[in-house]
Structure 1
Amino acid sequence: MIALMLHDHVSAWLAVDTLNPENPPFAERLYRIGRYCMWAFLGSAALCVAYAGGRFGWEKWNGGAMESPKQIVGAMIGAVFCVSASQIINAVTQ
């Protein structure tokens, strides 16, 4: 009997008062910072790969020490890390 009465009160309260979550006042600024970080990560990934490729071409053209293949591998690993981080940031902010 008490359980039935409690169930009726709870169901009536839930049917009348639906709670809609809303963002805190500073959330939009944090989302904007997150989006800037995402673009910074993507831009840094592209710049790292472009720099390592340019250095590889420069060393190949001038007959240098050929240390840039290690840099290209590092740049590719860094690019994968940066793109993954930007996608995580994008998933969190949406």
Structure 2
Amino acid sequence: MTRFPLSEAYDLPGNLLRRCHQISVAIFLRKCEALKPTQLQYIILSALEEMGTSDQITLGGYTALDRNTVAVVVRKLEERGLVSRHRNPEDRR
């Protein structure tokens, strides 16, 4: 097993990516403090703003989220009164 002193570990790609993620989350939380969305809620709201009304499968493809995740996030957004969902009358499920 290769050993890295702590001073070298700071420069490893995985650590740098982790730090970038921490910083990006902190910036996101500061910028979105008023609405307090999660990052997934934000991406769904942004996609809906850009695309307009959409079904959950299309929304998932556009945001690179699986349809189950989209369903959960959209349900949470609906509970908060930020989106409304309507059944497609042509969908027999």
The two structures share one fold, judged by TM-score above 0.5:
no
Q: Which has the larger radius of gyration?
A: 1
The structure whose RCO (Cα within 8 Å, separation 6+) is larger is: 1
TM score, norm. by length of structure 1: 0.30
